[in-house]
Chains A and B, each alone.
Chain A
Amino acid sequence: MMAWIESTGLATWVRESPSLWAYPTILTLHTVGLGIVVGASAVVDFRLLGFARRVKPIDLSPLFGLMVWAFLLNATTGVLLFIADATTKSRQPVFYVKLSLIFVALWCTFATRRIIREETPDASPASASSPNGARLAVVSLLLWAGAITAGRLMAYM
């Protein structure tokens, strides 16, 4: 099945095209996406941990929209990168670790968005965040750092 995926025209093009606009661009867009997703998440997480208290958490809401678009970019580029080398990647345990970490991190992101909307919409800027918010923030930061680590280790394991 993976061998068939790898043999498709699209997968072959990604893998074998010598053009800078093929594989290199796909990989670069994947990095751009992760910079935005993890970066935006970090801004929200640091606020929930009590930094930049003059920012109202609810005012950070547009960051979630940005994260969704950047995530879609990474899901798309990720599929392209996967199919080009499906037989190898499907057999790498660290790839599944990465996907699991991303899945849980996304769950945290949605939970964080809900907390910001429900628990702190009218909070004055300097009020402390809920303990749940702070915990989610720590977990989120660790999960995304873990996802980045797992992603990088795919080149080695």
Chain B
Amino acid sequence: MDAFIAWLQATRLSQAIVYYTWIWPACETLHFIGLALVIGIVGFFDLRLIGFFRRVSVSAARELMPFAIGGFALNLSSGLVFLIGHPEQYAHNIAWWYKVGSLALAGLNAAIFETWVDAKTIHLGPGDETPASAKAIGIVSILAWFSVLVWGRMLPFVGNAF
């Protein structure tokens, strides 16, 4: 791992990220904007799955998802800038690995929804109750995404935990 970090730090891209000092704050700003889009749009859909906003049909609640995906894309790209620019801040930071784990959980949960649960909810209209599986997906999703946020914000503080 340390050899990989050293190699990464020596790349032109990594050095450019460190050299051009406006890149980091700009990426941080994009990262926060992206997280708001994900939390808001995914969160709204999750709340419908759980059973709130019942007057909205489930499929309608999902229609803003492209914007959430756009937000996630912002975070993935700005996140890569952070990783490439200062890999040493993340590799040995347990908060980072918990964040990765939370992302994996969020992703797995979404995949489970897409393959198994979606079919049970797509036809649900205004006023319809969602099945227990959908409620579970919604709860796990909200917890997972907030966990991504929390571990991310804790990165500078949990650093020496290893």
Interface residues of A (CB under 8 A from B): 20, 23-24, 27-28, 31-32, 34-36, 38-43, 46-47, 51-56, 59-60, 62-63, 125, 144-145, 148-149, 151-153, 155-156
12 new A-B contacts at CB < 8 Å, known A20-B154, A24-B158, A40-B44: A27-B153, A35-B149, A36-B43, A39-B37, A39-B41, A40-B43, A43-B44, A47-B64, A52-B63, A55-B61, A55-B63, A152-B32
The answer to whether A34 and B32 have CB atoms under 8 Å apart is yes
Chain B: interface residue total (CB-CB under 8 A): 32
B112 at the binding interface (Cβ < 8 Å) = no
Residue of chain A at shortest CB distance from B45:
A43
Q: Which residues of B contact A32 (CB under 8 A)?
A: 146, 149-150
Can you list 24 A-B pairs with a CB-CB distance of less than 8 A?
Answer: A24-B153, A24-B154, A24-B157, A27-B153, A28-B149, A31-B149, A32-B150, A35-B39, A39-B40, A40-B40, A41-B40, A42-B41, A42-B67, A43-B41, A46-B41, A47-B64, A55-B63, A59-B53, A60-B53, A60-B56, A148-B29, A148-B32, A148-B36, A153-B25
B60 interfacial by beta-carbon distance below 8 Å: yes
Q: Do the beta carbons of B40 and A28 come within 8 Å of each other?
A: no
The answer to whether B40 touches A35, judged by C-beta atoms less than 8 angstroms apart, is: yes
For B19-48 the 0/1 string (1 means CB < 8 A from A) is 000000100110011011111110110000
CA distance A60 to B158 in the complex (A): 38
A35 contacts across to B, CB distance below 8 A: 35-36, 39-40, 146, 149
**Contact between B36 and A54 (Cβ–Cβ < 8 Å)?**
no
Whether A51 and B64, one on each chain, are in contact in the complex, defined by CB atoms closer than 8 angstroms, is yes
For A151, the chain B residues whose CB sits under 8 A away are 32
B47 to chain A, nearest CB (A): 9
Q: Quick one: which of A27, A54, A145, A155 has the most chain B CB within 10 A?
A: A54
Given contacts A24-B154, A52-B60, A152-B28, A38 and B40 within 8 Å (CB-CB): yes
Contact B60 A152 (CB under 8 A): no
> What separation, in Å, do the CA atoms of A38 and B29 have in the docked complex?
13
B55 at the interface (CB under 8 A from A): yes
* Complex CA–CA separation, A62 to B25 (angstroms): 34
Q: Tell me whether A55 and B153 are in contact in the complex, defined as CB-CB below 8 angstroms, given that A40-B44, A148-B36, A152-B28 are known contacts.
A: no
Q: Which 10 A-B pairs give the minimum distances between C-beta atoms?
A: A39-B40, A54-B60, A38-B36, A35-B39, A52-B63, A24-B157, A39-B39, A28-B153, A59-B55, A42-B40
Say yes or no: A42 contacts B52, CB within 8 Å: no
Across the interface, which residues of B come within 8 angstroms of A152, CB to CB? 25, 28-29, 32
B157, A20: Cβ atoms under 8 Å? yes
Residues of A within 8 A of B67 (CB): 42, 46, 51
Measured CA separation A149–B40 after assembly (Å):
18
- B57 proximal to A (CB < 8 A): yes
